[in-house]
Amino acid sequence: MKFSVSSSALLSLLATTGKVISNKNTLPILDYFLMELNGNTLKVTTSDLETTLVGQIEVESVESEGTIAAPSKLMLDSLKEFPELPLTIDVNDKNWEIRINWKSGSLSIPGASAVSYPAVPQLSAERKELRLDVDMLVNGINKTVFATADDELRPVMNGIYINLGPETLTFVGTDAHKLVKYESEIENEVCSSFILPKKPANLLKSVLLKEDDSIEMAFDSKNALFRLKSHTLVCRLIEGTYPNYNAVIPANNPNKVLVDRIELLNGIKRVAVCSSATTNLIRMDIADNRIDLTAQDIDFSVSANETISCSYDGQPISIGFKSTFLVEILSNMDTPTVVIELGDSTRAGVFKPVYDDKQTSTTLMLLMPMMINA
């Protein structure tokens, strides 16, 4: 196996696919890149047994084809030190030595046989196939992935629930304290649903930013496959039944707060410095077109308060929220103004972005309140 390649192109490919490699791999071979040269196409595969990412680039001056397992850390650490220059990579098929040559020097890395590298999972004949708009998929993942849980007891909540309806595509993420539902209008020929784990969702998010075309997607009862321009991602889906998220979304919260998102976000951050380290509780007293934010930590005798003007339609209300969750929700919205719909101090608050014009998608974020001492 011998070929020439641009150092930056190879580093970019290895850095992207290398994000799959876990530091808790059970098989030593999974700490390696599987590199396959076929014609002028170099294909690099990484896997953690749950998620497999395959990337490819075109290379030059191919003298011989072949397959090698290359140690990921050594390859990345070496390539990071190169400026943009052409490299010649020469693999010895007898002892698996990988020699990287450039104009003024060379280095040698021990590779391994690729025989034991796990095969890419194949989808069943019953798989469903569709094409998805890149922006829609990126937005859906971006809006919901932060709200997913890390709960070993309830694995279904550790991923994004994706529901394909006849006219809508819905993404949902929840950890039982906060919930995000992002819904986009789409004509679907396929009606089904699945739970996409957090790791491949984050991987997709970073790889999709380089895409400009719609992508092919296929899934069966166990795996999902995303085919992009130069990458293919295959991942095992989370099995189980997703909770009925619509049941926890309040149908009618009569009290509505219209407020500047950045002003509220910065006010919460300032006041939260004095909140209790164990609860992160912030109290919001809302009346007369203003929000009074209060936080205190009795143990350390610190407290803070700030008043923010808003447009309020409803009865005076006092409600408590966890400040870290409030910051997450407001940071993951992209409009200058948000509307907060409240019922009473025990009912979930609903946060929605306010747009100037009609949108083809809707975002709803929900946050459960905390008890406050009256």
What's the chain's length in residues?
374
Instruction: Give every strand in the sheet of 168-174, ordered side by side.
Output: 192-197, 159-164, 168-174, 178-185, 361-367, 349-353, 337-342, 255-260, 311-313
The answer on 241 and 135 residing in a single domain is: yes
Distances in Å between the Cα of 159 and the Cα atoms of 162, 173, 291 are 9, 7, 34
Select from 224, 141, 138 the least CA-distant residue to 180: 141
Domain extent at residue 103: 2-110
pLDDT, residue 374, reads 57
Alpha carbon 348 to chain centroid distance? 25
In sequence order, the 6+-apart residues with CB closer than 8 A to the CB of 138 are: 205, 208, 209
> Is residue 100 a part of any domain in this protein?
yes
CATH number for the domain spanning 96: value is: 3.10.150.10
The answer on 168 and 80 residing in a single domain is: no
pLDDT, residue 28, reads 93
CA distance 204 to 233: 8
The answer on 167 and 180 residing in a single domain is: yes
> Is residue 122 a part of any domain in this protein?
no
pLDDT, residue 251, reads 86
Identify the domain boundary among 184, 218, 247. 247
pLDDT, residue 213, reads 80
User: How much is the pTM?
Assistant: 0.92
CB 6 within 8 A of CB 86: yes
What tens-digit pLDDT sequence spans the chain (374 residues)?
A: 999 999 999 999 999 999 999 988 889 999 999 999 999 999 999 999 999 999 999 999 999 999 999 999 999 999 999 999 999 999 999 999 999 999 999 999 999 999 999 999 999 999 999 998 888 999 999 999 999 999 888 999 999 999 999 899 999 999 999 999 999 998 878 889 999 999 999 999 888 887 778 899 999 999 999 999 899 999 999 999 999 999 999 988 999 999 999 999 999 999 999 999 999 999 999 999 999 999 999 899 999 999 999 999 999 999 999 999 999 999 999 999 999 999 999 999 999 999 988 888 999 999 999 998 75
pLDDT, residue 11, reads 96
pLDDT, residue 16, reads 94
CA distance 169 to 214: 15
The answer on 261 and 205 residing in a single domain is: no
The two most distant CA atoms of the chain are separated, in Å, by 80
CA distance 5 to 61: 8
DSSP state of 155: G
Identify the domain boundary among 197, 225, 247. 247
CB 239 within 8 A of CB 193: no
Q: Give me the helices (H) in 210-287, please.
A: 261-272
The answer on 214 and 103 residing in a single domain is: no
The answer on 144 and 102 residing in a single domain is: no
Q: Name the domain count of the chain.
A: 3
> Is residue 228 a part of any domain in this protein?
yes
The residues that bridge with 62 in the sheet, in sequence order, are none
Q: Which tokens is 20 given?
A: 């799959």
> Is residue 372 a part of any domain in this protein?
no
Q: What is the DSSP string of 177-214?
A: SEEEEEEEE---S--EEEEEEHHHHHHHHHHHTT--S-
The answer on 70 and 54 residing in a single domain is: yes
Beta-carbon neighbour count of residue 317 at 10 Å? 17
Q: Is residue 129 within a helix (H) or strand (E), and if so which, with residue range?
A: strand 128-132
